[in-house]
Structure formats: structure tokens, C-alpha cells
Amino acid sequence: MEDLGTETVLMDERMGHIDGSVSARYAHVTPGMRQRLMLGLTEQWEAALDVRLTLCPTSPVRVLNDLLCARAAALW
């Protein structure tokens, strides 16, 4: 999340951390923060699937195999 530039207040919330600082008391998670994080994580997930596709386009693990097939179909 740090690589994506995620705000500390959102990282703390996602990881279940409680920050007792004064600045944390006045910082709030916004819908835009959540949206940026979701887009960043989605981008990383798709990049990981693309790398996995280059290694081997199938998997014996059904869930992963379905994801790889769907990703391959979307790319080609």
C-alpha cells in the first residue's frame, strides 16, 4: 500500500491498527482514498496475473486457472 501512496489513515484502518496521535484523530478515510487504493491494487493484481501467464498459461489450481483463462481472453 505504501508503494501506491496510500494515506496512513487508510492503511491503519485496513490493517486494524489504532493510531492515538492527534493528527490521526482528525484524519478520516474518504471515498476517493478507497477508490485510489482499489484501482492501485487491481492494477497490481492484473500485472501479477500477466506475469503468471508468461510463466505458464494454465494452473492445476482451478480458481487460478479460471483467472488465467479469463485474463488471457481479455488480453487477446
pLDDT tens track for 20-35: 776 767 788 899 999 9
- How many domains is the chain built from? 1
The answer to whether position 3 is within a domain reads no
* pLDDT tens digits along 38-48: 999 999 999 99
pTM, entire model: 0.75
Whether 43 is covered by a domain: the verdict is yes
pLDDT exceeds 80 at position 5: yes
- Which CA distances in Å does 74 have to 14, 43, 51? 30, 14, 15
Q: Over range 53-62, report the average pLDDT.
A: 96
Spatial neighbors of 4 by CB under 8 A, at least 6 apart, are 36, 37, 40, 41, 44
